Amino acid sequence: MSFRLRRFRSVLAAAAGALLLTLVAAAAPLIAAIYGAGPQDTFADDLDAYGMPYGIAGGVSTVHWLGLEPGLGRDLMIQIVYGLRTSLTVAAPAVLLATALGTVIGAVAGLLGGWVDALLTWLTDVAIALPLLLCAIAVIRPLELAFYGPRDAVPGTFRMTVLIGLFGALGWTGVARLVRGQVRALREREFVTAAVALGAGPGRILGREVLPHLGPPITAGAALLLPTFTSAGAALSFLGLGVLEPTPDLGRTIQRSLGYLQTDPAYVIFPGLALVLLVFVFTVLGESVRRAFDPGPGR
């Protein structure tokens, strides 16, 4: 296993980048304290009469390393750091939920076979056919109206919880297919056949004989889900259906920055690069892990 991982230098670089971004996101409050600016702090004195930051590149200086948000006067670097934190706070629990669902469904389908396998495979195909973003767009607002009135303030935690639930409920299909295929191969192995001959039930076979061998497909499937959920969360925030103010979010920052594309292009570039880097690093990491576990011929 370790030999395969070392064969791919990209996985080491991607893992280092993913670890760095994760540490930055986790340490956001500490970074803000050292930096001297919080996510809701404003610096109106550094804006001109039109709400534009003084200086070059949107107010980049030794005090504000990436400048300020036009109009609002919030420090852009702190918004990006907390935006990374928000993206991973939504994506990571959704990955765990989707991985758990996919593992259970795929393992049960692969082990039992027959009509159970046919039913769960059909359910997987139906879930694959449901577009994640369109389903989220169709569900988020009705869910809010079911719990809150049209004029009530919706807590930010509610929207984040809905996103985690939606991503987990619709994103498990890839893991389920990987696990199902692995379990179908494992159930023909001698140790599983011996367990059946000794009278072990499906639960015992699944828990003691099959699940310990499912680490590679589960890990590979989960690694590829994180960039998917990160980009989906940013897209929904861009459309106004993601994480709400005052919680910083990269997708919402990018959406707001488009109004200043000509007057302050740095406001578009910095959060855009942060989002691209986040998705790219975890995509490379996920693909590298998948290839390490299943290198295929000639790799």
User: How much is the pLDDT for 85?
Assistant: 95
> Tell me, what's the pLDDT at 145?
87
Question: Residue 297's pLDDT is what?
Answer: 47
Residue in the structure block whose two tokens are 């989220």 = 136
Which is nearest to 167 in space by CA: 105, 61, 89? 89
Q: What is the pLDDT of residue 298?
A: 44
- Would you state the structure tokens that stand for residue 183, as one six-digit string? 């379990």
Gyration radius of the chain's alpha carbons: 23
The CATH fold of domain 2-9+85-293: MetI-like fold (1.10.3720)
pLDDT at 217: 79
- Of the candidates 156, 222, 210, the one whose C-alpha atom is nearest the C-alpha of residue 184 is 210
Where in the chain are the domains?
2-9+85-293
Please give the average pLDDT of every successive group of 10 residues along the chain, which has 299 residues: 56 86 95 92 89 86 91 93 95 95 90 87 90 88 85 83 93 90 76 61 63 78 90 92 89 92 90 94 84 57
Give the integer Cα–Cα distance in Å for 235 and 22. 20
What is 64-77 written as a DSSP string? Answer: STT-B-TTT-BBHH
Alpha-carbon torsion 252, 254, 255, 256, what sign?
positive
